A and B are shown apart, each in its own frame.
Chain A
Amino acid sequence: MTDTSPPPPRRPRPKLDDDNRAFWTGGAEGKLNMMQCGDCGEFTHPPRQICRHCLSENMAARAVAGTGAIDTFTINYQPWMPGLPVPFVIARVRLDGVPGVVLTTNIVNCDPESVDFDDRVKVTFDEQDGIWFPVFEKVG
């Protein structure tokens, strides 16, 4: 018997630019980089070169703690691409120290049924061709 099922699909690859490069490549150094304003201190996400709060152009990517909590989630059962292993969890994670920002991401390395609101999570990275996708796993 040969396994004729398709290989698991690759994550769709973001097109890198000056706005998003630090976010999608920071994992190479183990960093979750978020764009912060050097003037008002607020974070702008999705990342941009101009602060969406005060319009300052004094923006820089800053490594944040990489911890947070599950704001909301869904257990996905539908293979949206051929060979996509299911079920898996898609969550919105509230990041510690980054007020007003959530990340849509996957909760990995756990039973999907074990995920709940407000679970504490920390970042880990799934690398694929030079993109370091921030995903999260449960802590505690």
Chain B
Amino acid sequence: MAREAYISGVGQSEVGVRLARSPMGLTKDAIMEALADAGLTIGQIDGVASYPGKSHGYLGFSPVGVDEVIEQFGIKARWHFGGGEIPAQLSAIAIAADAVRNGHARHVICFRTVYEAAAMARPDEFPALRRDTVEGYSQWTAPYFAISAACWVAHTAMRQMKRHGMTREQLAQVALNANRNALLNPRAGNITKKPLTLDEYMAARPITSPFCLYDCDRFSDASTVVIVSAGDALDEVSANPVRIAATAGSVDRWSWDQPDYMASYPTGKELWTKTDYKPKDVDTVQFYDGFAFFPIGWLEALGFCDIGEGHRFIEGGTRIARDGELPLNTGGGQLGAGRLHGFGFAHEAVTQLRGKAGARQIPGDPRVAVATSGGGPLAAALLLARD
């Protein structure tokens, strides 16, 4: 039997907008909470992983590097990784799982720290990305003022409207569901403060059609940590571990505009080749929602419905509600709980599978969850099981 990898602990800092606490301070808060959750001490940590590593050209995006965490916390690392050229954000956790399965480390801190809201308010300390000259992939979009990924993803969402008849009322269910769930998530209190109605959604300020303000996640300041532990090190862990049953991350073309489909589609198909679990076994899904169309794509990609049917799957919102047949983004996702950039979906999946989600806990005895991150050419999926 192959060695297994588990998530043994999760932690999260305060999630806020223009927080005064430093990025390393937020990272410390999340690490300490995750260690306490797992019943581990920092001395037992021997690996560190993150996405995308420190982003020197745009510090708010990723202000804390793996090297800095190793040094700050006195970690004697036997294995570490920090980089952006991986399938997507959650691939850092998938890579850590491979590392512990192969004996390179026993307990790996996987973290994602974001500081985009504070950075905008303090540009002297955290300079914004320069826009006057562009190179690499962004030269094919930025010169046309397609500066935000919102514009690129809007192209895909508009195509869904044209080809498959998606309406704004159907798309709205992603944001309305996120809002309802975020109102029950104590960590989302700085991001979502009041209920959102369909009428308010339909009348909201447009950003780039079909997206309105509520279809776009909000810059936030936070750190999220997941500790990945080797199956043969679980005797050191006190919390109820969740097995990383399968991971996937496939991309056919690394481009936001050239391919006809997002990388989530090959990634979703690939995930089910690596496990005996089937979509019908899944109790909850935590899907990347940096823009509201992404979860619709993930539903199709992972086979929860046919391609071109994702918007009809969520129509009315009952199926994806906490008491529905496939609860989606039960913590509010990024639309409701802040742009944690991928790691929040793993955090929420583990919290639900352990029955620790408090007022937003889904009913029954959830045992299997899918967490994903990414859109466009980025895609990573984790199948998590309490088995």
A residues adjacent to B (C-beta < 8 A): 9-15, 20, 45-46, 71-78, 80-81, 84, 88, 90-92, 100-106, 117, 131, 133, 135
Contact = CB atoms under 8 A, between A and B. Distances in A.
A80 B155 contact: no
Closest 9 CB pairs of A and B: A74-B154, A14-B139, A12-B142, A80-B147, A15-B135, A76-B208, A77-B206, A75-B209, A72-B155
Contact of B162 (A20, A92, A105, A117): A117
Interface string B249-289: 00000010110000000000000000000000000000000
A78 B148 CA distance: 10
A104 B141 contact: yes
- B contact face: mostly helix, strand, loop, or mixed: mixed
Contact of A88 (B145, B147, B150): B145
- Counting chain B CB atoms within 10 Å of each CB, the highest count among A72, A92, A105 belongs to A72
B133 interface: yes
A21 to B, nearest CB: 12
Contact of A90 (B131, B144, B210): B144
B132 interface: yes
Nearest to A131: B143
Measured as residues with beta carbon below 8 angstroms from the partner, the interface class of chain B is 35 or more
A74 B144 contact: no
B144 A104 contact: yes
Contact of B132 (A10, A92, A105): A10
Given A77-B208, A84-B145, A12 B133 contact: yes
B133 A14 contact: yes
A88 B139 CA distance: 19
- Counting chain B CB atoms within 10 Å of each CB, the highest count among A12, A71, A133, A135 belongs to A12
Contacts of A74: 151, 154-155, 158, 208-210
Contacts of A117: 162
Contacts of B133: 12-15
18 contacts: A12-B132, A12-B147, A14-B143, A72-B159, A73-B155, A74-B158, A76-B208, A77-B206, A77-B207, A80-B147, A90-B145, A91-B155, A103-B140, A104-B144, A104-B152, A133-B143, A133-B144, A135-B144
Nearest to B130: A12
B319 interface: no
B156 A72 contact: yes
B207 A105 contact: no
Given A15-B139, A72-B156, A90 B162 contact: no
Interface in B156-173: 156, 158-159, 162
A133 B151 CA distance: 18
A76 B209 CA distance: 6
Contacts of A9: 145
A99 B18 CA distance: 47
B202 interface: no
Contacts of B233: none
B78 interface: no
A72 B293 CA distance: 15
A15 B147 contact: no
Nearest to A91: B155
Interface string B196-207: 000000000111
Interface in B112-141: 131-135, 137-141
